[in-house]
Structure 1
Amino acid sequence: MSITKRLVAGVGALLVAGTLAAPAQAAVPDRRALQDSLDAVHQAGMYGLYSAVSDGRDTWKGAAGVADVRNRRPVKPHMVHRVGSITKTFTAVAVLQQVERGKVDLDAPVSRYLPDLISDDDITVRMLLNHTSHLADYIPGAFPSLLEGSLADLDNHRFRRIEPEELVRLGLAFPRTGEPGATPGSYSNTNYVLAGLVLEKVTGMDAERYITHHVIKKAGLRHTSFPRSPQIPGPSSGAYESFYGLFDPPRDYAVYDMSWLTTAGAVVSTMDDLNRFYRRLLQGELLGGAQLAEMQRTVPVYVGAGPIEYGLGIYALDLPCGRFWGHDGAVWGMLTQSLSSPDGTRQISVGLNRAKYQTFDENGMPVPHEIDLAFGNHLLLALCGPAQARTLSTPITPFPADGLQVKP
């Protein structure tokens, strides 16, 4: 398989587990079992990871592996992590707050708010938030060397500052992936950069500042922010990018200007903060009931190997013990998964410091990695209990909405 095809194949091609069992109350796993399952992910090849599990008032935090492959500094459960597309949930909450205040109409055309960027009236705010706009992702335009079979732009653009409007224009320069409103939708970071610009238009505030004051602080998150510099604020890990074996050894991208993702993926957080955020969201503390219900109206959205059930900045993932809500995220070198039961009581958030560790076969299909199986076991153990985890023989879908799709 050529280097260009491997690059264009994208980040989110994953295997989905088989037929789901009926929802059942999970047995609470013991702490030793949780730590053992986390250690197994590290032993399978993940450099380092940290996990926070919650079951009502019972909580557990653990870490395994190293934060720095050179000096073997260990990872810690409280480390600050780039959470990538989990940012989209924060952005969607902010936009829905403006819907509650009557300043944004979900079914109004985006051109009402941003006439200088979007001239057509066929794309609505709702289509941005549920990825049915079919606007192409700007990622290939922001890192054009990827489509030329080169990874050079990942280094060349490490300290580049790029404005949201430019990101949108890069996305608009590519052909649409379908008719606006058609399902399945097509996951695109362009949608959430536009959503941030709509937020700026109706509030008169910088979008990242608005989200910080009205979502992050409202949720009581103390270690969550949009970084003001390329460094991750607070104790953190390296971010090791393998890019399907094209970086050997993997390259550290922990220091990076994240203006290339902004309201689509620039947030940093801790695993504790993520659990707190989704718990307060699902328990109605950040949005009223009507807007939370809108958020959980899902449509099929195509990402990687197949569609997922995507709402407005949040998706539903069905596991053997029932349905869970949340999001995942990816940036160069870091992965994150956060899932919560519908009532926000049973939760897991996990951060990993090595990305795109899989390889592809001669037909361009992803080769299952032991990391995926071990990670799926940790998720199932935390959310569904030891009985379900013991039955896992196929990698579960750990990062279904991984947003770094590289498309031609």
Structure 2
Amino acid sequence: MGVVAVVAVVSVTAGAFASPALADAPHRTGHRATQQALDAAVAAGVPGVTGRATDKYGTWKGTSGVGDLRTGAPRGERDRYRVGSITKTFVATVLLQLEAEGRIDLDDTVDHWLPGVVTGHGHDGRKITLRQVLNHTSGIYNVTADKGFQQTVFARDGFLKHRYDTWTPDELVRIAMSHKPDFAPGTSWNYSNTNYVLAGMVIQKVTGHSYADEIRRRVIEPLHLRATTLPGTSTTVPRPASRAYSKFPDDPDKKTYDVTELNPSLASSAGEMISDSADLNRFYSALLGGRLLPAAQLAEMKTTVPVPLGEDGAEVGYGLALMSQKLSCGTVVWGHSGGIHGSSSDAVTTSDGRHSLAFNFNGDWSGDSQAVMEAEYCPK
């Protein structure tokens, strides 16, 4: 769920193709620049990195650093990891499939499907559409910004005491409703994990099945994503996997903690998923390649609003859980990023879905994801 101090916001872009020279460069260099960027992340303090790129020349796999600080075991090419807010793209895909089937309309209000859920302190689900929920223009308060939630989930002592606690979607929404909205619906943009907790609740209301079951049936099984799971309240990461590490900002000793085990219900449908780089590449390639959504729904997903968070002036837009980013060489990539305790991930692909990149840092305090994407798509 774009958690652990900040919402991960980097990966993606809209509509331009790399020139033939730029598209050929990674093949000519053997992805040396990408490997160097992974190594640089480790040199800067990330315990380990695993990544994979797929283009017309085939698949490249790269790792750097360690997957287990205790044993010194290296990161693995097939590591599974918590992907945080990348979960959101899967959730939005299901809702757009439901729209294509005529079962919902993105201009339906939240209250139409979840009557009385979004209310209090100025929140009014009768005035918020599903589209505004999916593109973060709803104004709904972000549950992970709540100070009590932060102390319980993200502060050192709170996490160590409560890491195995179960959170329900209703609990998360109620926390958000105890605050005023960030703005009137449709008047601004702000990343809110509450939006996607609500999106998961809408899927259940419409289909009678949990969002996890619908993602499995509609996306994971058709694409044969064998490393992708929605763990619910299970606290472990299936093998093969590395350990995940965190440095809590409030820890006076600045220690490194193993945070691999946690109850991902704290992220719910905003960020509970586990996957690997191969599955993420396959998913985003299929999505942008038109294999999961009709053209009309994919166009809706790619209709972006400006995001005031671009790194170094990067041109970033946010669609329906699909972000666009124009890189320094002009190449545009689409995808999402995700952070959760001890894990920071990015997955992007080109507009045609033919050149994909996914990677993961197993530490949440360091690492330049932008540099990895620039190295893969704009090698010098």
Residue 163 to residue 337, structure 1, CA distance change in 2 (3 Å)? same
1:149 to 1:169, Cα distance in 2 relative to 1, 3 A = closer
2-side partners of 1:145 and 1:41: how far apart? 27
Aligned mates of 2:197, 2:153 — CA distance in 1 = 25
1:277 alignment partner in structure 2: 283
2:174 partner SS: helix
Distance 2:224 2:356 in 1: 17
When residues 40 and 125 of structure 1 are mapped into structure 2, their CA distance, relative to the original with a 3 A threshold, is: same
Q: How does 1:6-405 map to 2 (within 5 A)?
A: 10-12=5-7, 24-25=19-20, 26=22, 27-28=25-26, 29-118=29-118, 120=124, 121-141=126-146, 143-144=148-149, 146=151, 150-183=155-188, 185-228=189-232, 229-244=234-249, 246=251, 248-302=254-308, 308-321=316-329, 322-357=331-366, 371-372=367-368, 375-385=369-379, 387=380
SS of the aligned residue for 1:217 comes to helix
TM-score by length of 1: 0.82
Q: 1:124 to 1:188 in 2, by over 3 A?
A: same
Deviations 1:58-106 (A, max 9, x none): 2100111111111111110100010000000000000111101111110
- TM-score normalised by length of structure 2: 0.87
Aligned to 2:89, what secondary structure does the other structure show?
A: helix
Structure 1's unaligned 5+ residue stretches are 1-7, 358-370, 388-408
CA separation of 1:200/1:150 partners in 2, compared to 1, >3 Å: closer, same or farther? closer
- Asked if 2 retains the 8 angstrom alpha-carbon contact of 1:227 and 1:233, the reply is no
- Cα pair distance change 1:63/1:222, threshold 3 Å: same
- Counterpart CA distance in 1 for 2:338 and 2:316 is 15
RMSD between superposed Cα atoms in Å:
2.7
Pair 1:217–1:145, CA change in 2 (3 A): closer
Does the CA-based 8 Å contact 2:152-2:162 persist in structure 1? no
3-state secondary structure, aligned to 1:60:
strand
CA deviations over 1:287-327 (Å, ceiling 9, x no partner): 00000000000012455989941000110011023211000
Distance 1:267 1:15 in 2: 18
Equivalents in 2 of 1:46, 1:112: separation in Å? 45
CA distance in structure 2 between the aligned counterparts of 1:336 and 1:196, rounded to whole angstroms: 21
Q: Distance in 1 between matches of 2:33 and 2:178?
A: 50
**1 CA distance for matches of 2:215 and 2:109?**
22
Change (3 A) 1:230 1:209: same
Change (3 A) 1:336 1:154: same
**1:193–1:264 contact (8 Å) kept in structure 2:** yes
- Equivalents in 2 of 1:12, 1:189: separation in Å? 9
User: Compared with structure 1, are the counterparts of its residues 285 and 23 closer, same or farther at alpha carbon in structure 2 (3 Å cutoff)?
Assistant: closer
CA contact (8 A) 1:143 1:153 kept: no
Unaligned runs of 5+ in 2: none
Question: Number of matched residues?
Answer: 359
Counting aligned pairs with the same residue, the percent is: 37
Deviation by residue 1:25-69 (Cα, 9 ceiling, x = unmatched): 411231444433322221221100101011124210011111111
C-alpha separation in 2, matches of 1:251 and 1:334 = 12
Deviation digits for residues 207-257 of structure 1, max 9, x if unmatched? Answer: 111111112212221110112510011211111112347462221111000
